[in-house]
Amino acid sequence: MRHLPPFISLVFLATIFTVGAASAEPQPSPLIASIENRKTISLNGTWHYIADPYDNGYYDYRHHPRKDGYFLNAQPKSPQDLIEYNFEKSDTLQVPGDWNSQRKELFMYEGTVWYERSFLYHKPADKRTFLSVGAANYESRVWVNGTEVCAHIGGFTSYNCEITDAVKDGDNFVVIYVNDNRHADAVPTVNTDWWNYGGLTRDVELVEVPKVFLQDYFLQLQKGSQSELAGWVKVDGGSRPVTVRIPELHIEKQIQTDANGYGRIVLTAAGLTLWSPDTPKLYDVEFDAGDDVVHDQIGFRTIEVRGQDILLNGKPIFLRGVSVHEEAPYRSGRAFSTDDARTLLGWVKEMNGNYVRLAHYPHNRNMTRMADRMGLLVWSEIPVYWTIDWSNPATLANAKNQLTEEITRDKNRAAIIIWSMGNETPISDPRMAFMRELVKTARGLDPTRLISAALETHYSEPNVKMIDDPLGADLDVIGCNEYVGWYERKAEDADHITWRTPYDKPLIMTEFGADAEFGLHGSPDQRWTEEFQENVYRHQIVMLNKIPFLRGTTPWILMDFRSPRRVLPVVQDFYNRKGLISDRGQKKKAFYVMQEFYKEKSSSH
């Protein structure tokens, strides 16, 4: 385990790695389902912040008892009091949002930032109150009115903590410690190819629920059926019946819950309109737990593989997609809003796409909800990326926790058809054991969706690409990344390459492409030009059309995105330029190549 500060080490063990003894460390509460469909009070907006590269805000307090930690938000009581911080006089950041794109001095900063916000709250006597954080990259700790309420590890998944006893009627303040340092045994690990945006990058909200409330639920088509719905409900704080209603289908059924609050759902849905990209039908589903009534908009569809085919609602489908980073269109920084999602996914639709790979981590909830409404199928991934610390039990527990939180938040979204276990992970025995544990976890949490991962390949012969990664035996769908024409060989060499695999399974080509600076023109043989990128794509299509078991493509990538690995002045300037669209929303020539390719694929399927 890495050498974390003492309090982070403890919370890491308490919240991520299962230990025998109970820990006094504050842990996140079980995730509350469908936050967006509940009564919430937004804490988005202006927060004061203090950048703290030495972590003085905690350790001065721990090692010098006469000094207050930042989380107490203390004020001098007399002229002699020594308090060396002041949130009210400190600068501000907008939440949600990363600190890198908001402050020039924080552009490349990695470390600790303390956030503080005061708020007025009318505390209800008959309710429980939770603080929900959509994402805080990477490690975070939360205090309300100076009381520590929870801590969390993972930069792309939601968490919530109960603050009923910490919050009061009237004036309150919340302080959140966020640290985005990279570590060799973290998930993701030290080296990635995207910007390490730090901060409170998604919504922060107060959630009010009854003392006994519906904490979670799952409802999807029974595997193998197009008319039987199955799932479960979970009540927190006691046991009580939950009535499930789908008015449009004339369904109403009361579910009895056991002593732990769990109840199984089995429903027959006659006349069901199945969700698909052409008909993204969503039903209003009501879960009535007495004092707590939650409405959700859920689509129902089947997804399965049969030999080399992917079947959506029992019919073969070719996935016409593109990979997407959570990079904000038209501006720098982490994407988070509904408008961001509408723009990014709108470009996919304009490309004649029906599918999107959300790489390389769980994206914000607006992306998956918008995909549901717009009719775009989704590959959702956790940041098991490149050289993870495969032999470390705590690293595996961390990855499993992030996978669990990803599935918990998005399991009712019809758009998601594939859970991905990772990207470009080199083959070894420890890696195989690690990845198989993730596959087992995903199947246990959600047996209705497909499992995949983006694998590496090799040449078995000069013009033969072989997919024989042993992890392929554990997957439903094979994913592969390749860069013929950019990182290897010449673009025209792709015309003569064939693909082979021992697995009788469908293949999604999860990455291919080349860099181009928008507006830079020249010969198809001149790197960085739009013509070079266009030429790579044209030859890729020749190769792709010859793969008999190919059932989808997601070229790399929809839009240029920031990466500290990309330092070439003038052309890159800290951007990966493989986007089909520039970071300013300008479409490159290769965009139209894929648009035409997908038009043809749409007609043929």
Q: Three-class SS string for 247-308?
A: HHHCEEEEECCCCCCEEEEEEECCCCCCCCCCCCCCEEEEEECCCCEEEEEECCCCEEEECC
pLDDT tens digits for 531-563? 999 999 999 999 999 999 999 999 999 999 999
Strand partners, 316: 311
What's the confidence (pLDDT) of residue 66?
Answer: 57
Beta carbons of 160 and 207 less than 8 angstroms apart: yes
What's the confidence (pLDDT) of residue 64?
Answer: 67
What's the confidence (pLDDT) of residue 76?
Answer: 86
Q: Which of 97, 47, 89, 57 lies closest to 197, judged by CA?
A: 97
What stretch of H or E contains 56?
Answer: helix 56-63
Residue type at 197 in one-letter notation: Y
Domains and CATH numbers, the chain: 6-210 (2.60.120.260), 213-301 (2.60.40.10), 310-604 (3.20.20.80)
Chain centroid offset of residue 63 CA: 37
- DSSP character for 96? S
Taking the C-alpha atoms of residue 589 and residue 513, their distance in angstroms, rounded to an integer, is: 13
Q: Beta strand 355-358 with 377-381: parallel, antiparallel or unpaired? A: parallel
Taking the C-alpha atoms of residue 209 and residue 214, their distance in angstroms, rounded to an integer, is: 9
Beta carbons of 381 and 188 less than 8 angstroms apart: no
Neighbours of 250 (CB within 10 A): 10
Quick one: CA dihedral 134, 136, 137, 140, positive or negative? negative
Residue with tokens 């959702």: 380
Strand segments (E) across 482-595: 498-500, 507-511, 550-553, 561-562, 575-576
Phi, psi of 242, rounded to the nearest 5 degrees: -125, 125
Both tokens of 84, joined, read 């060396």
Taking the C-alpha atoms of residue 326 and residue 156, their distance in angstroms, rounded to an integer, is: 10
Residue type at 71 in one-letter notation: F
Q: Which of 525, 231, 558 lies closest to 367, judged by CA?
A: 558
Q: How far is CA 202 from CA 51, 155, 195, 335, 381, in A?
A: 19, 10, 16, 9, 18
Both tokens of 72, joined, read 């107490």
Both tokens of 391, joined, read 């032999």
Residue with tokens 């181009």: 516
Q: Which of 119, 104, 118 lies closest to 51, judged by CA?
A: 104
Segments in the chain below pLDDT 70? 1-25, 61-67, 605
The model's pTM: 0.93
Q: What share of the chain is helix, strand, coil (3-state, %, to 5)?
A: 20, 30, 45
Q: Is 306 exposed, middle or buried (0-12, 13-18, 19+ CB in 10 A)?
A: exposed
Beta carbons of 183 and 2 less than 8 angstroms apart: yes
Q: Which of 95, 108, 101, 5 lies closest to 49, judged by CA?
A: 95
Taking the C-alpha atoms of residue 215 and residue 415, their distance in angstroms, rounded to an integer, is: 22
Taking the C-alpha atoms of residue 235 and residue 223, their distance in angstroms, rounded to an integer, is: 25
Residue with tokens 């190819």: 193
CA trace torsion 342, 345, 350, 356 (10° rounding): -170
